[in-house]
Chain A
């Protein structure tokens, strides 16, 4: 412990003595202080360059010294930079040091001083500095000139994104100076009364010609400015590579990257330096450079590519062996020899690369969608045989080469086309037929598919058809159909025949396709089956044939709706019993029919199956055209017999009959259905697609109904578009019609019968009275030319009374008893006692009759009441007489009394024109029982007859007629 205390004390004493010595040394000036300090300013680079010396060094003495440099701005006390510069100092050496100012040096004065010390990094203890040199001033403002305003720095080149300080110096003491960057005013800080500073951070590239920065006073035209050239950052060259094509010249290339965007004189340059040879060249281009190879003197190359501009330098290196960078030139003089249908020989030449180099060439052949590749070693000339080619096919051959010893890069391809020659077709044409009987003759329509390019081996010129009749009596026929026909129609002399079809090109003929045609249509009774199409097509299957077949064939029409239907077929092998038929022509909603044939060994097709289906079923787009019949008050019948279920876009499974009514009730056999328009109706379902009639029953009379018949399928039913409208008739109207019509008919029949009978009775009982004027007697009289002889005219007769004889019958006795016991007289001539008693009677005496007016021989006296119409006569008061009075209307104007009541005996036959024609008589003749008796009229000589007394009788007669007419 005591020993430890003693040694500690000794160490402290030694340390204190050392510190004392050092203090004494520092108090003396250092003998190697910096002297002759000079400061210069480079305004282009904005650098202060310092230059000084160190004296008192021995001739061979070298010291490693540290120079501490202080830089002040504006005034010496404002130190802005302190840096220790360490270097080895020799005897009589001038030392240099530079400092780049962020602030343009023109903007402010700078002061610099320094001191030195021996670099005692290996010596412990503090560094002993010399005394400071005096302050050196760097003032550029004195040399600016007399302009009132300056903007600095001038034409400074910076990289994009860097920070830049701008200042202006005003000598006119104007304070209202404003500065702008590309038209945008900048805000700065005042460094002194005449200087303002603007700090621009992260300056951006604007244009190649630089960014304009300018300042101007508030008054006057003293605009000043500067241009700041902002460069994009220089990029390192990429993909630097060198290669040779002939071992004579190296072509070095690189990607210079994005442009720095500067003026050409400020843009970067590229230099290529090779370290082994020490050569350096300045590249003329930005992305490539040529280097001349010294022949056989250098194999290894070490290149350094340097991109450099004012701001940055970037380099990349590349070391390689010359022979490993051989990029041969493209082969040339490519030719083809001995080109035939299946082979060709290709030759080419290559550019030689030295004497001992072998090239590896790659040959490619493009043709028929295939590529084949071969490698060939080549010294000077290359040869390659292409075999297994297709006839009449154009091929593209190309070749490229590379250094076979050290692969670097393939050369460019050299292309050449050639075409093989034609050959005979290799395959028989695929043929099918359609047989039909036209007027007892077989007509075969042949179809064939064009041979593929691989089968045709050239351009097919025509198709040969040989028809051989199987009975060997009709011989054979040969036809030639020019290409590009794909079918023909052949009327055959007889059906049983064998047809051979071949295809020919300019070289030869193909094998033959053989078809056998027979009259028998084959198994046409095969039931049609349904097949469901899928996205892949129609899957078809059939039962294998027990007897031997050479294959199967499926036939269909791709355009079944448009004749010709575009018959298609597909040949299948003998062991195949299913296939999928697909075609781009298949459309949804179209029914396709497939027929599957088995081809026998005799080449006779036999129908095995029939399939039908849709590639995709669609809902029916149309509803049937419905005809309504048998409309009754309770039912009607709907019929759509013209609706074809075959031509619909899906298989029709049945029909729905919709019935709308106001009642809304659905009877048995129907169900309620809600339509898309929320209408409720009754739906009848018909499951049989072939049932195309339907009776709608249980309807209400005189009711309004709407109905619709729509087909339904597995994918939906037809549109619910237009409902037909119907109103049921009244329930009793048909019954009434059934009763009324026969009744009316019967009545009419009876009336006609009665009329005919009355006519018959009239003919039999009271035929027409002959017209005296038409009597033959007149002609006799005329022949005697006696003008005095004539028929008595009524005007010649002066009637004085008419006697009406009433014949009493049956029930009329009472009347007779009371009134008709005496004859009734009509007083036609005025008498004095006319109103009181029956007056003198006017008698007609007809001398033309050999019989007096009836047996009574007296004139009828008809009582004529002065004013009362005949209807007021007591004779007509009874209902029975009313009808007779009506019948009187049908009597002629002679004032006949109905025969049922009176029997009128004509006393005088008036020769009135009105009575002359019996056709004018009423239709209703008197009853036979009441008929008057007519006697045969005969003309009598004039002497036997009294002459007519006066003309007034005629007047009376007319008066009577008038009265009679009035009663009608």
Chain B
């Protein structure tokens, strides 16, 4: 039990430390390499099911054989990895921001069905993580070219409506919440992978390379160099 609590608390602590260097207070880190690394780490932590999904399953009694198998992401709720890869970097960041807004909205709805303070605290920590991640996205978007231009939300293929209408039935709402959280963790995993691809192949999307998108006067370190040190070439996280 203690180990489980520690397993839940430690990532939050790490995220908290990460947020200290993020533009929570209004100032962004001007090192895109550093920022991208932070986004990767945040996505790695947010993809862990122990952060949200597992506590939710336990509190709602969904951890039963024949039931937990149905706690799977419904296709279309969150964009697939391929859909994310197809987006330009600006589009991806905008899509991420939009998706995470929906997630926040949905988490607030889920909180109403959570009676225990401990589980509520888990959801609150997850919401803080999402807000921190959104801040970093905001900063990263500013480092990309054309960031000053406000564009429409990017089309992210099938399943662009991540918020299905909640059913009034508690059981269905519970099951949908579980599926939603499952999709959320999968989505964050995909986001982390896409961020890694950004770091490993900066030339793949040369048009929107952060290197090219550096604003004038700002000192930048190429993302590819910095991330080669973090992840050897060819080694992709699962």
Give the B-binding residues of A (Cβ under 8 A). Answer: 151, 154-155, 180, 182-183, 206-214, 216, 221, 223-227, 263-265
Assembled-state Cα–Cα distance A562/B171 (Å): 84
Assembled-state Cα–Cα distance A340/B99 (Å): 80
Query: How far, in Å, is B176 (CB) from chain A's closest CB?
Result: 12
Query: How far, in Å, is B105 (CB) from chain A's closest CB?
Result: 20
Interface locus among B21-29, B30-38, B59-67, B192-200:
B59-67
Selected from B64, B114, B115, the residue in CB contact (under 8 A) with A212 is B64
Selected from A208, A211, A212, A226, the residue in CB contact (under 8 A) with B62 is A212
B171/A226 in contact, CB under 8 A: yes
Q: In the assembled complex, which residues on chain A have CB atoms less than 8 Å from the CB atom of B212?
A: none
Assembled-state Cα–Cα distance A208/B113 (Å): 10
Q: Name which residue of chain B comes closest to A155, CB basis.
A: B170
Selected from B116, B169, B174, the residue in CB contact (under 8 A) with A208 is B116
Q: In the assembled complex, which residues on chain A have CB atoms less than 8 Å from the CB atom of B114?
A: 209
Query: How far, in Å, is A268 (CB) from chain B's closest CB?
Result: 15
Assembled-state Cα–Cα distance A583/B186 (Å): 80
Q: In the assembled complex, which residues on chain A have CB atoms less than 8 Å from the CB atom of B60?
A: 209, 212
Q: Name which residue of chain B comes closest to A225, CB basis.
A: B171
Query: How far, in Å, is A144 (CB) from chain B's closest CB?
Result: 12
Query: How far, in Å, is A31 (CB) from chain B's closest CB?
Result: 47
Number of B positions contacting A (CB below 8 A): 21
Q: In the assembled complex, which residues on chain A have CB atoms less than 8 Å from the CB atom of B62?
A: 212
Q: Is B70 interfacial (CB-CB < 8 Å)?
A: yes
Contacts A155-B170, A226-B171; is A221 near B70 (CB within 8 Å)?
Answer: yes
Assembled-state Cα–Cα distance A214/B64 (Å): 11
Query: How far, in Å, is A146 (CB) from chain B's closest CB?
Result: 14
Selected from B115, B168, B175, the residue in CB contact (under 8 A) with A263 is B115
Selected from B66, B112, B113, the residue in CB contact (under 8 A) with A180 is B66
Which parts of B31-70 form the interface with A (CB within 8 Å)? 59-62, 64-67, 70
Contacts A223-B70, A223-B175, A225-B175; is A154 near B169 (CB within 8 Å)?
Answer: yes
Q: In the assembled complex, which residues on chain B have CB atoms less than 8 Å from the CB atom of A155?
A: 169-171
A263/B113 in contact, CB under 8 A: yes
Nearest first, the 9 A-B pairs at minimum CB distance are: A183-B64, A225-B171, A227-B170, A208-B115, A155-B170, A227-B171, A223-B70, A212-B61, A226-B171
Q: In the assembled complex, which residues on chain A have CB atoms less than 8 Å from the CB atom of B113?
A: 209, 263
Query: How far, in Å, is B135 (CB) from chain A's closest CB?
Result: 32
A209/B61 in contact, CB under 8 A: yes
Query: How far, in Å, is A34 (CB) from chain B's closest CB?
Result: 35
Q: In the assembled complex, which residues on chain B have CB atoms less than 8 Å from the CB atom of A182?
A: 61, 64
Q: Name which residue of chain B comes closest to A265, CB basis.
A: B112
Contacts A183-B66, A263-B113; is A214 near B171 (CB within 8 Å)?
Answer: yes
23 pairs of residues in contact across A and B, judged by CB atoms under 8 Å? A154-B169, A154-B171, A155-B171, A180-B67, A183-B64, A183-B66, A183-B67, A206-B61, A207-B61, A208-B116, A209-B60, A209-B61, A209-B174, A213-B171, A214-B66, A216-B66, A221-B70, A224-B172, A225-B175, A227-B171, A263-B113, A264-B115, A265-B112
Which parts of B71-120 form the interface with A (CB within 8 Å)? 112-116
Query: How far, in Å, is B69 (CB) from chain A's closest CB?
Result: 9
Q: Name which residue of chain A comes closest to B63, CB basis.
A: A183
Assembled-state Cα–Cα distance A210/B169 (Å): 13
A226/B169 in contact, CB under 8 A: yes
Assembled-state Cα–Cα distance A224/B66 (Å): 12
Query: How far, in Å, is B230 (CB) from chain A's closest CB?
Result: 40
Query: How far, in Å, is B15 (CB) from chain A's closest CB?
Result: 27
Q: Name which residue of chain A comes closest to B113, CB basis.
A: A209
B169/A209 in contact, CB under 8 A: no
Query: How far, in Å, is B64 (CB) from chain A's closest CB?
Result: 3
Q: In the assembled complex, which residues on chain A have CB atoms less than 8 Å from the CB atom of B70?
A: 216, 221, 223
Task: Work out how many contacts link A and B, with CB atoms closer than 8 A.
Answer: 64
Query: How far, in Å, is B115 (CB) from chain A's closest CB?
Result: 4
Give the A-binding residues of B (Cβ under 8 A). Answer: 59-62, 64-67, 70, 112-116, 168-172, 174-175
Contacts A225-B171, A226-B171; is A210 near B61 (CB within 8 Å)?
Answer: yes
Assembled-state Cα–Cα distance A216/B64 (Å): 14
Q: In the assembled complex, which residues on chain B have CB atoms less than 8 Å from the CB atom of A214?
A: 66-67, 171
Query: How far, in Å, is A187 (CB) from chain B's closest CB?
Result: 16
B67/A209 in contact, CB under 8 A: no
- Identify 16 new A-B residue pairs, CB closer than 8 A, beyond the known A209-B60, A221-B70, A226-B170: A151-B171, A180-B64, A209-B61, A209-B114, A209-B174, A210-B170, A211-B61, A212-B61, A212-B174, A216-B70, A223-B67, A223-B70, A223-B175, A225-B171, A227-B170, A264-B115
Contacts A223-B175, A225-B175; is A212 near B67 (CB within 8 Å)?
Answer: yes
Q: In the assembled complex, which residues on chain B have CB atoms less than 8 Å from the CB atom of A211?
A: 61
Assembled-state Cα–Cα distance A562/B194 (Å): 87
Query: How far, in Å, is A149 (CB) from chain B's closest CB?
Result: 12
Q: Name which residue of chain A comes closest to B119, CB basis.
A: A209
Assembled-state Cα–Cα distance A216/B65 (Å): 13
Query: How far, in Å, is A674 (CB) from chain B's closest CB?
Result: 67
Q: In the assembled complex, which residues on chain A have CB atoms less than 8 Å from the CB atom of B171?
A: 151, 154-155, 212-214, 224-227
Q: In the assembled complex, which residues on chain B have CB atoms less than 8 Å from the CB atom of A210?
A: 61, 170
Assembled-state Cα–Cα distance A274/B61 (Å): 43
A209/B66 in contact, CB under 8 A: no
Q: In the assembled complex, which residues on chain B have CB atoms less than 8 Å from the CB atom of A208?
A: 115-116
Q: In the assembled complex, which residues on chain A have CB atoms less than 8 Å from the CB atom of B168?
A: 154
Residue of B62, B65, B66, B170 ringed by the most chain A CB atoms within 10 A: B170
Contacts A225-B171, A227-B170, A264-B115; is A209 near B64 (CB within 8 Å)?
Answer: no
Assembled-state Cα–Cα distance A213/B62 (Å): 10
Assembled-state Cα–Cα distance A643/B169 (Å): 99
Q: In the assembled complex, which residues on chain B have CB atoms less than 8 Å from the CB atom of A151?
A: 171
Query: How far, in Å, is A214 (CB) from chain B's closest CB?
Result: 6
Query: How far, in Å, is B118 (CB) from chain A's closest CB?
Result: 12
Assembled-state Cα–Cα distance A257/B128 (Å): 37
Assembled-state Cα–Cα distance A225/B173 (Å): 10
Q: In the assembled complex, which residues on chain B have CB atoms less than 8 Å from the CB atom of A224?
A: 171-172
Q: In the assembled complex, which residues on chain B have CB atoms less than 8 Å from the CB atom of A216?
A: 66, 70
Q: Name which residue of chain A comes closest to B64, CB basis.
A: A183
Q: In the assembled complex, which residues on chain A have CB atoms less than 8 Å from the CB atom of B67?
A: 180, 183, 212, 214, 223
Q: In the assembled complex, which residues on chain A have CB atoms less than 8 Å from the CB atom of B169?
A: 154-155, 226
Q: In the assembled complex, which residues on chain A have CB atoms less than 8 Å from the CB atom of B59?
A: 207, 209
Assembled-state Cα–Cα distance A547/B234 (Å): 117
Residue of A155, A183, A263, A264 ringed by the most chain B CB atoms within 10 A: A183
Assembled-state Cα–Cα distance A212/B60 (Å): 8
Q: Name which residue of chain A comes closest to B112, CB basis.
A: A265
Assembled-state Cα–Cα distance A453/B156 (Å): 90
Assembled-state Cα–Cα distance A210/B174 (Å): 11
Q: In the assembled complex, which residues on chain B have CB atoms less than 8 Å from the CB atom of A213?
A: 171
Q: In the assembled complex, which residues on chain A have CB atoms less than 8 Å from the CB atom of B172?
A: 224-225
Q: In the assembled complex, which residues on chain B have CB atoms less than 8 Å from the CB atom of A225?
A: 171-172, 175
Q: In the assembled complex, which residues on chain A have CB atoms less than 8 Å from the CB atom of B115?
A: 208-209, 263-264
Residue of B59, B115, B169, B175 ringed by the most chain A CB atoms within 10 A: B115
Query: How far, in Å, is B19 (CB) from chain A's closest CB?
Result: 31
Q: Name which residue of chain A comes closest to B171, CB basis.
A: A225
Assembled-state Cα–Cα distance A209/B116 (Å): 9
Query: How far, in Å, is A461 (CB) from chain B's closest CB?
Result: 58
Q: In the assembled complex, which residues on chain B have CB atoms less than 8 Å from the CB atom of A209?
A: 59-61, 113-115, 174
Assembled-state Cα–Cα distance A263/B113 (Å): 8
Residue of B112, B113, B172 ringed by the most chain A CB atoms within 10 A: B172
Assembled-state Cα–Cα distance A224/B168 (Å): 13
A154/B64 in contact, CB under 8 A: no
Q: In the assembled complex, which residues on chain B have CB atoms less than 8 Å from the CB atom of A206?
A: 61
Q: Name which residue of chain A comes closest to B62, CB basis.
A: A212
Query: How far, in Å, is A293 (CB) from chain B's closest CB?
Result: 36
Q: In the assembled complex, which residues on chain B have CB atoms less than 8 Å from the CB atom of A223?
A: 67, 70, 175
Query: How far, in Å, is A871 (CB) from chain B's closest CB?
Result: 117
Assembled-state Cα–Cα distance A207/B115 (Å): 10
Q: Name which residue of chain B comes closest to A216, CB basis.
A: B66
Query: How far, in Å, is A104 (CB) from chain B's closest CB?
Result: 13
Assembled-state Cα–Cα distance A154/B171 (Å): 8
Query: How far, in Å, is B73 (CB) from chain A's closest CB?
Result: 13
